[in-house]
Amino acid sequence: MIHLARRALLGAPLALPSLARAQTPVARTARILVGFPAGGTVDVVARMLAEKLRGSWAPQVVVEQRVGAAGRLAIEAMQQAENDGTTLLITPASMVTIYPHLYGDRLRYVPARDLTPISPVVLYPFGLAVGPGAAGVNSVADLVTFAKQRGGLHYASPAAGSMPHFAGVVLGKAAGIEVSHVPYRGAAPAIADLLGGQIPASFNVIGDQTEHVRAGRLRMLAHTNATRLPRLAEVPTFIEAGFPQLSFDEWFGIFLPARAPAALVSALNGLLGQISQDADLKPRLEEREFLAAHMGADAFASRIEAETRTWGPIVRDSGFRPEE
């Protein structure tokens, strides 16, 4: 079972420095590295953060895309970055908790060696949805029956080696069904085929599916959050559906280069704590089904270590090996 310390992430009251500073911790323009294309969810969150950090962390904060190798290029760029607070990284959890198990010695970075964790900034769960290709399926139990009647289940995810990919692996093992993963290049084409009936089921970031669920074009059977979501109150959790193994979420986290000075770590973590409570930012995130999050740097490092251990046997048992 995958357990996450959600209470710590949601931000207990902290004694934080004021955002109004006469002098910023970084004296020149800072950049936030993003390993995914402009307009994607990581990029959108990075630009929201840059807006809030501008003038409080550095005089200017810009977003810089380093796209390629499924998010790995941005992390590799951190290895050459100056350790003066001018380079930040935002990345989904998978690149630091799952990729070490996928790529092994081929991975050109070691998260614990090459990155300084600061804090997660958002959390988001995954949803299991079905479309016209799974007529009559209205619950996870229905989907298990559907799969057993057909000798297995084909399901989509937005990328090979992603958390949604391995969520399907966990479901297959827990339900005792054969599952066949069909990877896509992003959520949009996966959902397009789900809507078209080319594939019966799909695990995706919940915010990428909710528009179609509310419009009645897709049926969301369950999601991986620990509790029901206010904006999707009718959708059960996997815990309620009888699969507590599928209780987890992913995060976008902020990092500095390795061995970042303690003063910079403390200052940036404090600013992110304030931003997580920002009355303007929170509703903008919630529109995308993201939950603003914050935790101390040491606690975040411990969470990364624990999640890395958790995903190891899941990845190994799947037998999946990336081609690239």
Whether the per-residue pLDDT at 263 is higher than 70: the answer is yes
> Looking at residue 324, what is its pLDDT?
67
Is position 323 within any domain? no
Same domain, 19 and 113: yes
Question: How far is the C-alpha of 222 from the C-alpha of 236, rounded, in Å?
Answer: 5
Same domain, 119 and 254: yes
Last residue of one domain, picked from the residues 246, 276, 303: 246
Question: Within a 10 A sphere around the Cβ of 9, how many other Cβ atoms?
Answer: 24
pLDDT tens-digit profile of 310-319?
A: 999 999 999 9
pLDDT tens-digit profile of 198-212?
A: 999 999 999 889 999
Same domain, 80 and 190: no
Is position 1 within any domain? no
pLDDT tens-digit profile of 71-113?
A: 899 999 999 999 999 999 999 999 999 999 999 999 999 999 9
Question: How far is the C-alpha of 313 from the C-alpha of 299, rounded, in Å?
Answer: 23
Is position 218 within any domain? yes
> Looking at residue 100, what is its pLDDT?
96
Q: What token pair was written down for 66?
A: 């380093």
User: How confident is the model over 204-227, as a mean pLDDT?
Assistant: 94
Whether the per-residue pLDDT at 275 is higher than 90: the answer is yes
Last residue of one domain, picked from the residues 246, 262, 292: 246
Whether the per-residue pLDDT at 228 is higher than 70: the answer is yes
Is position 309 within any domain? yes
> Looking at residue 70, what is its pLDDT?
84
Same domain, 94 and 181: no
Is position 275 within any domain? yes
Same domain, 191 and 219: yes
CATH assignment of the domain containing 215? 3.40.190.10
Is position 70 within any domain? yes
Beta-carbon contacts of residue 293 (< 8 Å; ≥ 6 apart) = 9, 10, 11, 119, 120, 121, 122, 123, 251, 276
pLDDT tens-digit profile of 10-68?
A: 544 433 444 444 589 999 999 999 998 888 889 999 999 999 999 999 999 999 999 88
Same domain, 183 and 272: no
Question: How far is the C-alpha of 237 from the C-alpha of 227, rounded, in Å?
Answer: 6
| Strand, coil or helix: 139 | coil
Question: How far is the C-alpha of 311 from the C-alpha of 320, rounded, in Å?
Answer: 13
Tokens 């507590």 -> residue: 244
Report the mean per-residue pLDDT for the chain: 91
Same domain, 130 and 241: yes
User: How confident is the model over 142-164, as a mean pLDDT?
Assistant: 95
What's the number of CA atoms in the CB half-sphere (13 Å) around residue 230? 6
Measuring CA to CA, which residue among 19, 5, 11, 48 is closest to residue 283?
A: 48
Last residue of one domain, picked from the residues 246, 270, 298: 246
pLDDT tens-digit profile of 103-130?
A: 999 999 999 999 999 999 999 999 999 9
Same domain, 147 and 228: yes
User: Cα-Cα-Cα-Cα dihedral of 2, 98, 293, 129, to 10°?
Assistant: -70
> Looking at residue 93, what is its pLDDT?
96
Which residues span the domain enclosing 304?
6-123+250-318
Is position 308 within any domain? yes
Q: Number of folded domains in the chain? A: 2
Beta-carbon contacts of residue 141 (< 8 Å; ≥ 6 apart) = 241, 242
pLDDT class for 323, splitting at 50, 70, 90?
confident
> Looking at residue 16, what is its pLDDT?
40
